[in-house]
Structure 1
Amino acid sequence: MIRFKLGEMIEKKQFAEGRRVTINEIATATGLNRMTLSKILNSKGYGTGTETIDKLCQYFNCRVEDLMEHLPENVG
């Protein structure tokens, strides 16, 4: 399963800039739909396209692996 680390990225940006960062702000800055961002943030296992990932990496000035990680699923 892919896990997005959007919450962690928002927290890092808030700490670095000393201010609150909202989903609406990210949506406006990236052109992404607020609902898409909310699903990435709150829905376990949510899938999205590479264009969305690219826009978020640009916004947070980060690499893909800073934004998401692969978690192995329990087999058995």
Structure 2
Amino acid sequence: MIKCHLSRLLGERKLKISDVTRDTGINRGTLTRLYHETAERVELDVLDALCTYLNCGLPDLLEYQKSEQASPPPTP
């Protein structure tokens, strides 16, 4: 599972989604999905723009967390 820390990062900087949309040109819907951790996919240019705007690295924005339930290995 991938955890997105956008809400925490914006809170720490006292920024709103509308601020990020205005300053980066990233679609508001995309930012809202990242903020609420409902995004199923993200374009690399969006991640690049967010890291540049927030002056952070990708590990500050996204974190891999091992899933609670491990998937069984595929059967041959």
Please report the TM-score for the alignment, with normalisation by the length of structure 1: 0.82
* Structure with greater Cα Rg: 2
Cα distance change of structure 1 residues 39 and 45 upon mapping to structure 2, 3 Å threshold = closer
**Offset from partner CA, 1:8-66 (integer Å, 9 cap, x none):** 1101212xxxxxx2111101111100010001111346320111100000110001000
Q: Which residue of 1 aligns with 2:26?
A: 32
Q: Unmatched 5+ residue regions in structure 1?
A: 15-20
Please report the TM-score for the alignment, with normalisation by the length of structure 2: 0.82
Q: Which residue of 1 aligns with 2:46?
A: 52
Q: Unmatched 5+ residue regions in structure 2?
A: 72-76
Q: Percent identity?
A: 27
Report the structure, 1 or 2, having the larger helix content.
Answer: 1
RMSD across aligned positions (CA)? 1.4
Aligned AA (1:11)? G
Aligned AA (2:5)? K
